[in-house]
Amino acid sequence: MANVLVKDLIEAGVHFGHRASRWNPKMRPYIYARRNLIHIIDVRETIRGLLRARKYLQQVAYGGSLVLFVGTKRQASETISREAQRCGMPFVSDRWLGGTLTNFRTIRSRLGRLEELESLRASEELFATYSKKMQSSLNREYRRMYRNLNGIRSMNRLPECVVTIDPMKEKNAIKEAQKLGITTVSLIDTNCDPDEVDLPIPGNDDSIRSIELVTKYLADAVLAGKAAAGNLKDQSAPAEASVAEAT
């Protein structure tokens, strides 16, 4: 499996870092070499990071906790949205709203407003009673709120882990997670500070193929954890039934 993963990582360009002039010295342990003024990331370190992250995310999903996927940069937005939905976890793919974690109660209340707008727009007769100007205003408000909040509808409690693409871009999400003691997993390039995240995955955080490969791998880990928990539940159900029959 490791050989297949290495092949996929190299084909996706995960090993290409930033220009050497933009590097963060703390990334030195994860850099293999420098070629044509570009730092080359050590793929072995990428695999180690992926394996550690996979093991942890499986445990989180197995325990029934939430994993919040965050990727608001253009290259990551679509992938984060798709993979988070595939594994049934909340996500932020457009804009990080300040206080999403640290002011969670207020953010949840805004979801109530989103649902109110959806109900209003679904009722054509009621919506028609508003003026054209008010309808336009409500539609704009709905589109803005849907774009910012739709991904965290299912987040009825704080997550145990936050997965990000590029901690420099998602610095506000990282800071909020750190303040609350939430574990952070992140794909980090050679210009990032690995000390800012708990489980760094060294790799190209600008390439769409690189982001897709890493995010899919992490989403698969979440699905594997959920599947293991489901299997355990199915196995324990007959045992519980037999105990009940015996008594």
User: Where along the chain do its domains lie?
Assistant: 2-101+158-237, 103-154
Model pLDDT, residue 194 = 95
Model pLDDT, residue 240 = 46
pTM of the model: 0.88
CATH topology of domain 2-101+158-237: Rossmann fold (3.40.50)
CB 92 within 8 A of CB 69: yes
d(CA 66, CA 59): 11
Model pLDDT, residue 231 = 80
Angle at the Cα of 62 from the Cα atoms of 57 and 65, rounded to 5 degrees: 75
Model pLDDT, residue 236 = 61
CATH topology of domain 103-154: Helix Hairpins (1.10.287)
Model pLDDT, residue 157 = 93
Those residues with Cβ within 8 angstroms of residue 221's Cβ, 6 or more apart along the chain or in another chain: 53, 54, 55, 57, 58, 61
Model pLDDT, residue 122 = 84
Neighbours of 99 (CB within 10 A): 13
Segments in the chain below pLDDT 70: 1-4, 233-247
